[in-house]
Every structure is written in C-alpha cells, then in structure tokens.
Amino acid sequence: MRKMIRSAATTLAVAAYLFVAAGPLCAQGTVPAGTAIEINLDQAVSSKDAKVGQTILGDVAREIRINDLVLIPKGSQAKLHVSAVQASGRLSTPAELYLKLDTLVVNGNTYSVTTSSVGQKAGSKAKRDTVAIGGGTAAGAVIGALAGGGKGAAIGAAVGAGAGTAGAAATGKKDISYPAETKLTFRLTSGLIIK
C-alpha cells in the first residue's frame, strides 16, 4: 500500500513539474490579423552595434485572448530579428533601430508570424508610441533617456540635454538602445492559426 502511495505521489510530482516546465496549455483557434502582441525583450539591443538580421529573444508580455479563450499565454517564447538599423553619425545620419517578430512558441509548437517592423528613428515621430521600457509607456514622446533611478522611467526627446543619458536615446548623435525588459508592441499582418 505504501509503495502504491509513493508511486502515485511521484507520478503527481512529475506531472506537476512537466506542467510548469511546458507552461499552461492554451486553446486552439485563430488570432486575427491586426491583433497586437506585446513582446518583452530578454536582451538589450542598440543601434550602435546591432546588425540587420541579428536574432533577439523575448517572451509574450500579455496573454492573447480571443472569445475569452487564451490562444497565446503570457511568457510564450518569442524570436525577433533586427529589420533595420543605422548607427548614429552626424546630424544628417540619425540613428534608427527597428525589430520584427518572427516566431512564437505555444504549447511546444513553433509558429511563424508576420508583423510590420517596430522601432524608431532619431528625430522621427513614427511609431514612437510603440516602445515601452520596463513597463513604462513612452506615450506621445520619442524616448530620450532612462532617468537615473526609476525603472521604466523615460524622458522624451524634447527634454533638455541635461537629463539622464543611460538607456534609450533618440536625439543628436546618440544611438537608440532598447534595454532588456523593453516592451515592443507588434501587430499581426496576417492571421495566426494556433493548433
């Protein structure tokens, strides 16, 4: 009897471990084109030394629900690549850094996804509201620099040059940097079928 109890306990422990390791199961369905997918970068990337095609790893920052069903769980692995980059030069050569989402791993299956590029160009207002650092949203301002002590605090490019200079910069001769934990929001350009 004791052997049976031990065996059952071992089986439950193994099952629990596998569940945690594999992550929560999700439903099957289609994630429609236009759906926003927020990705949390696992590593830093900068226009100073990034290369086009360079792989960047991340994970889904917020679960994707369609009709009250979780199709893409939070924490699902993501792979991105640098789609465009320009190191900062003179004022006539502003820095730029754009990323594209390539794949998502859901329930152990890898899915290719198609999205538009997301990022920014120094001095440009384009897509400036798609970037958030450590959970702080850069709403309405090009990211200037991380403030000295506050995680996720960002200062817009319009703020004086005396502000903190560590982190993402988008003015003058400074490069654009996305630290680890930067959140980027991508939109699917075609539907994604989760099986």
| Predicted confidence (pLDDT) at residue 90 exceeds the cutoff of 90 | no
| The Cα angle at residue 152 between residues 88 and 62, in degrees rounded to 5 | 105
| CATH number, residue 150 | 2.40.128.260
Please give the pLDDT value at position 5. Answer: 53
41-50, 136-145, 182-191: which range is least confident on average?
136-145
Number of domains in the chain: 1
22-31, 47-56, 100-109: which range is least confident on average?
22-31
Return the percentage of the chain with pLDDT > 70, whole number. Answer: 59
Q: Which residue has the tokens 């071992």?
A: 10
| Structure token pair of residue 192 | 């994604």
Q: Burial letters for 118-153: b for 16+ Cβ neighbours within 10 Å, e otherwise?
A: bbbbbeeeebbebbbbbebebeebbbbbbbeeeebe
Expressed as residue numbers, the domain containing 71 is: 2-194
Q: If pLDDT is split at 50, 70 and 90, which confidence band does 145 have? A: very low
Q: Which residue has the tokens 């958030």?
A: 132
| Structure token pair of residue 1 | 């009897």
pTM over 0.85: no
